[in-house]
Structure 1
């Protein structure tokens, strides 16, 4: 095991420790304290909030170009290939970023990686807003994608490692919060589009995409401004590196636990914990982790393919298939995201401690399968009643996404692996998920043009694959102490 050469970062602001001293003798004690803590954890909640702020940026930056591509294509005179380059650049950046970010999250720590990737968002957002041509715009979107890809592994690690194991607000519930946060970001991007669409004079309508993309720098700058005061390193990661003093300081500051490290003579021999390495990606495909990785990967890829085809194709579906105006398209897209996807995500957070991630994901995929088959059967509506039914099916699809795979594919990716593998586990999952998103975003316009509404039969294969994977691999991560596998032989 490689010991930490520098102390873990401890936030400046936090709770005042209370109660009798709690003695820490080894790394497993730190994990156990967090899992069972009933102490005040105000600062821990702030850390979770900041990590979710990173998720907000990911979603905002990925979705912010949805309404701008038509104007960008016209302004820069793009060919279909050029438009594809600009649209897919962020996805390719996210693939590279997820692979590297997973490794770095385990290697140098959650705090350092999170603080570094915020700068990607600031620089890239400003560069996008000022891009003089399509090549600068594509390059800036690629850099933005690097930030998105790096951020998800570290954000999920924070959510898992600053939450207790069971009960309300547990690890699965905290991780599921990424979903409503994602939809809130998408909804805010729609609201900004609606606002500037209403207030910009017609002659400046071409500025809309620049304003929306540039706005992404604002939340990133806010996170950077408050990072040192409230953001701490993960105490479990610090303890796994041998920095028990740093872990104890974080517990005192973030949880208000009066944690003290036992004298060296009172500690048991240090148990080796898996060191960070690129080879750890191979560990995901061995032993008990193989089945978990297969389930997490299939559900994530299926979810990404279906969601990207429907959610990012929503303007096309509403304006073309349902023959609605631009303003109606904006309003209906916003309403569907807020009333169904966002609400479904909130339900997932509330219900996962009771029902578990497996049952919730099965329910969500079932909703999506019914919705996509319904859309395929209705086809292009010929009446107001059929159009209303199609919108209802879109609503059911988004509700299913929020309740099930949208929330809990990340639960499977994050809680299937202990601390030593969590970064690479999420990184691997996100690399394949982003690849699926890229294929989906590229294929949907082509398939929609060739098949019209029959494209929904193709998309329906994704939730069907997710359901089959869940029925074959019945793994429930919620409430299971996966971090204990770093200190036992169970994972071997």
Structure 2
């Protein structure tokens, strides 16, 4: 550790140092990738039943309505636990809720593996949904708070990790199928989730460090200096109390202040992030999550062929997901979402109009392009937009609310696909779903906000909506740009 200590007078100094870093390296890199590891587990847990959904349906003799409830339950639960997780993170910090989420995921997976009836499986999926809801809101906030400003688009890396998790599940399903375990194969997939969850739980418990930006916003500057020293391997010290820059506009009313994301300059950002989040969730969980079933319908083969087809489709997701940061840097997150939605709309139209008439090569290419355009564009951007558009005390809470809206989209997608497919057929279902990316693309082209195209950090942004009962903000007389007077 270097001898000369860097003095921190307030949150501006913390942000300035993080933004001055050439990359995300050392302990900061460990924290960053561990947060991504948690998102890997979320995807792994959510997709663990995907490849084995057909065998599970036969094994438990489930009706279509039971399948719809089982597959969508985790997303419905996440609707409630997204904002709860955001509130926990904004009140108690980032680390403890992240570790709690992993514990819930492991317990939920174990319950599903050992379940002897449908009801106990639902209980396990409830816990998995709670873990997913808590984790995603917080992990994205952690990624934002450990990422230098010029690398903002790198948050989209989580999308590539999502598809790595999905492909890992599919490969494991092929392995378990080779063991000749029959229709019980879905239990093996869920058991793998418990093992992965336990490993990430231990690693996060041992190596995560609290966010210095969150600590500084809470005026815990001594703790922020200690966290910075652990993360960056240099000496940091908090300035004497008389020399510290006070935090203005600090939250004092918890959840009530989160509603600020629906006011002033924050409102269009919330609408944009929520639109991207909801629409991408509907299109992915209605189509991408059911790719093994769609693959089986396309190729008309057995389990191995259907799973291999789904694996090919999702490999395009890995490519698009890890390409997403570059696309976001070149186009901006908003325009990348708009063009991505437009391309997904075109793919769904083709699937709906020409599905039964396409040659085999086209039946492979079109779903692959659907996943590529989704993952390279809007798939990652909803969560990245919400993580980068609000200041630290609102970030996790905003992620929670917008994540809850996204979970609503996911639940709707998971619920309506099997019901619509049974009632209208696969082609008509694709046509109905194509309306979602079309509308989302129009919204993205209409709202002119992009956090990767601004030089002002949200934690330093003047004129943002003020927290309720904040005497510091009232004394500062900050002007609300939307109304031209001091913010209420």
> What is residue 195 of structure 2 aligned with on the other side?
218
Range that drifts further, 479-488 or 27-36: 479-488
Give ranges in structure 2 of 5+ residues lacking alignment. 466-479, 481-488
Classify 1:420/1:389 alpha carbon distance in 2 versus 1 (closer, same or farther; 3 Å): same
> What is residue 13 of structure 2 aligned with on the other side?
29
Aligned-pair CA distance for 1:194: 0.6
Instruction: Please point out which of 270, 273, 288 is paired with 2:250.
Output: 273
Aligned-pair CA distance for 1:123: 0.8
2:390–2:398 contact (8 Å) kept in structure 1: yes
Cα separation, 2, equivalents of 1:360 and 1:454: 28
Aligned-pair CA distance for 1:391: 2.0
SS of equivalent residue, structure 1 residue 60:
helix
1:65–1:213 contact (8 Å) kept in structure 2: yes
> What is residue 404 of structure 1 aligned with on the other side?
377
Range that drifts further, 138-147 or 246-255: 246-255
> What is residue 235 of structure 2 aligned with on the other side?
258
Range that drifts further, 234-243 or 59-68: 59-68
Instruction: Output the TM-score relative to the length of structure 1.
Output: 0.90
Give ranges in structure 1 of 5+ residues lacking alignment. 1-15
Aligned-pair CA distance for 1:387: 3.0
> What is residue 106 of structure 1 aligned with on the other side?
90
Cα separation, 2, equivalents of 1:84 and 1:454: 18
Map Cα deviations across residues 44-99 of structure 1 (whole Å, 9 max, x no partner): 01001110111011111111111333333333343343333322221222112112
> What is residue 263 of structure 2 aligned with on the other side?
286
Classify 1:336/1:108 alpha carbon distance in 2 versus 1 (closer, same or farther; 3 Å): same
Aligned residue pairs total 465
- Please give the residue correspondences for 1:316-327 in structure 2 after superposition, counting only pairs within 5 Å: 316-327=293-304
1:172–1:479 contact (8 Å) kept in structure 2: no
> What is residue 148 of structure 2 aligned with on the other side?
164
> What is residue 449 of structure 2 aligned with on the other side?
475
2:23–2:148 contact (8 Å) kept in structure 1: no
Instruction: Output the TM-score relative to the length of structure 2.
Output: 0.90
SS of equivalent residue, structure 1 residue 489:
coil
Map Cα deviations across residues 244-270 of structure 1 (whole Å, 9 max, x no partner): 111111212212343221122322445
SS of equivalent residue, structure 2 residue 7:
strand
Cα separation, 2, equivalents of 1:227 and 1:313: 31
Classify 1:106/1:448 alpha carbon distance in 2 versus 1 (closer, same or farther; 3 Å): same
1:41–1:254 contact (8 Å) kept in structure 2: no
Map Cα deviations across residues 311-344 of structure 1 (whole Å, 9 max, x no partner): 1221232222443332211111101111x11101
2:320–2:373 contact (8 Å) kept in structure 1: yes
Cα separation, 2, equivalents of 1:259 and 1:58: 35
- Cα RMSD of the aligned pairs, angstroms, is 2.0
Classify 1:240/1:52 alpha carbon distance in 2 versus 1 (closer, same or farther; 3 Å): same
> What is residue 360 of structure 2 aligned with on the other side?
387
User: Segments of 4+ in structure 1 off by > 6 A?
Assistant: none
Instruction: Please point out which of 339, 342, 351 is paired with 2:318.
Output: 342
1:418–1:482 contact (8 Å) kept in structure 2: no
Cα separation, 2, equivalents of 1:350 and 1:487: 26
> What is residue 439 of structure 1 aligned with on the other side?
412
Map Cα deviations across residues 267-303 of structure 1 (whole Å, 9 max, x no partner): 2445342236111332111111111111111111111
Range that drifts further, 309-318 or 82-91: 82-91
Instruction: Please point out which of 204, 210, 230 is paired with 2:207.
Output: 230
Classify 1:79/1:360 alpha carbon distance in 2 versus 1 (closer, same or farther; 3 Å): closer
